[in-house]
A = this chain, B = another copy of it.
Amino acid sequence: MSNSRALPLLDPDVQPCCPPLNERPLTAEEAVRTAAMFKALGDPVRLRLFSAVASHEGGEACVCDISDVGVSQPTVSHHLKKLKDAGLLASERRGTWVYYRVEPSVLAAMGQLLTSAAR
């Protein structure tokens, strides 16, 4: 059991929402908080929108750039709001367009939950 924590890609100061999934059983409260984040990525359309934002240059994109996912524009807006409520995206209006960008710290925390459990 190598306990060497050598993950160069992960920030060491991500807020520790919850312990790694294999450290101890999650409490009910921890599970509610953590499941909400996984749930936000648990829809194909939302995952595509999120990936489109994350892969866009600068880590941000306006809605007009990513709304080509096969659903109507209100539905796109609905999903973006859910991702925003889950803390995975942040939005900002600049003139005519609204830009969404990823929230890196939360994403890193989710990654740690899984990568620590995958050893």
Contact = CB atoms under 8 A, between A and B. Distances in A.
Interface of A: 4, 6-11, 21-28, 31-32, 34-36, 38-48, 50-52, 54-55, 59, 66, 69-70, 102, 104, 107-108, 110-112, 114-119
Contacts of A21: 47, 50-51, 54-55
Contacts of A54: 21-22, 117
Contacts of A104: 118-119
B59 A118 contact: no
A31 B9 contact: no
B70 A48 contact: no
A71 to B, nearest CB: 11
A66 B110 CA distance: 23
Given A7-B9, A27-B48, A40-B42, 16 more contacts: A9-B116, A22-B59, A25-B48, A25-B66, A26-B47, A31-B48, A35-B41, A35-B42, A35-B43, A35-B47, A39-B43, A42-B42, A111-B114, A112-B115, A114-B114, A115-B115
A8 B21 CA distance: 18
